[in-house]
Copies of this chain bind each other. A is one copy, B any other.
Amino acid sequence: MEDEFLRWIYKRMSKFKPPLLVGVGDDCAVLGLKEKKIVVTTDAILEGVHFDFKASPEDVGYKSAAVSLSDIAAMGAKPVALFAASALTFKYGGKYARRMVEGIIEALEPFGAQLAGGDYTLWSHPVVIVTTAVGTVEKPLLRSGAKPNDLICVTGTLGGSILGKHLRFTPRVNEALYLSQNYKINAMMDISDGLSLDLSRMMEASKTGCVIYEERIPVSSAAVELAKKDGVSPLKHALSDGEDFELIFTLPKKEAERLLKDSRIETQVTVIGEVQRKKGIWIRRNNGIKERLKPEGYIHGKTVYKPLKE
């Protein structure tokens, strides 16, 4: 089974192109890069934690790649190559592996990134897939660059990703590249563990605080739908559900004004708040009252309520 899969993947991956100089089949892949700065991220996706039996092998492959692409995007970088190491359950076998690889390629192709290598083992436990993505960048966008008076923006809508988006989302690669090339973005990251938690991490890294406006949070229809089922408010879902894989970024007010008029960006961008010197995450409620927001998010099955260093 393993040999069969390896033969299949050698054939499937034999058409690689620059900057990939050596693809699957040697001890390492070789990349010839013009850019001097590269970004690298690695993410583990586990059966029973990040997906369940309802996810197809294609979904699993797609998600694993898209999660790493989202991290590449969050740096304002261009994804170039992806590496996938997997441990598959014996009974799933080679067909599952091939379908998973097709899902990976489906996630990579729109961005011209290539599957460049991997590792593959069978075992008797649940499926594990670890993707490592490599991208190139001129000026990396860090989460530590937010400045007081910057406006805070997010792409897309938030909350309720568990209803489906967490498996099939579009990593914001094109949006991030466009933003970094056309605007002065001071800080950027992706929302993987929930808006309020990830925002608190950005503010902490930037040694700033912020206020966000309740009425401006772009609540997704999935958050509304989920709220009907579980009685938690749609806003709370938008603030604290994980796996939105949207971008949060901050930029000077004038830049934000320019961005809001920019018709070339097709993805929804919403100004949700403002960076301030005063630490902590604050929310201005619809009634005008500002209150402290306890950062909440979803990390691998447990709700967490504090940023790392607080």
Q: Chain A: residues with CB nearer than 8 A to chain B?
A: 2-3, 6-7, 10, 21-22, 25-34, 36-44, 46, 48-49, 71-72, 74-75, 77, 81, 83-87, 116-119, 121-123, 125-126, 128, 130, 132, 134-135, 137, 140, 142-144, 189-190, 205, 299-300, 302, 304, 306, 308-309
Contact = CB atoms under 8 A, between A and B. Distances in A.
Identical copies in the complex: 2
A304 B126 CA distance: 24
B189 A27 contact: yes
B119 A30 contact: no
A84 B42 contact: yes
A299 to B, nearest CB: 7
B28 A77 contact: yes
A29 B39 contact: yes
B299 A27 contact: no
A166 B37 CA distance: 35
Contact of A142 (B22, B31, B118, B190): B22
A137 B21 CA distance: 12
A186 to B, nearest CB: 14
A143 B31 contact: no
Contact of A36 (B32, B43, B44, B142): B32
A30 B22 contact: no
A65 to B, nearest CB: 13
Contact of A28 (B40, B121, B123): B40
Contacts of A84: 42
14 contacts: A3-B304, A21-B37, A26-B142, A27-B190, A28-B39, A30-B39, A31-B39, A31-B40, A41-B117, A43-B119, A44-B86, A44-B121, A46-B123, A128-B128
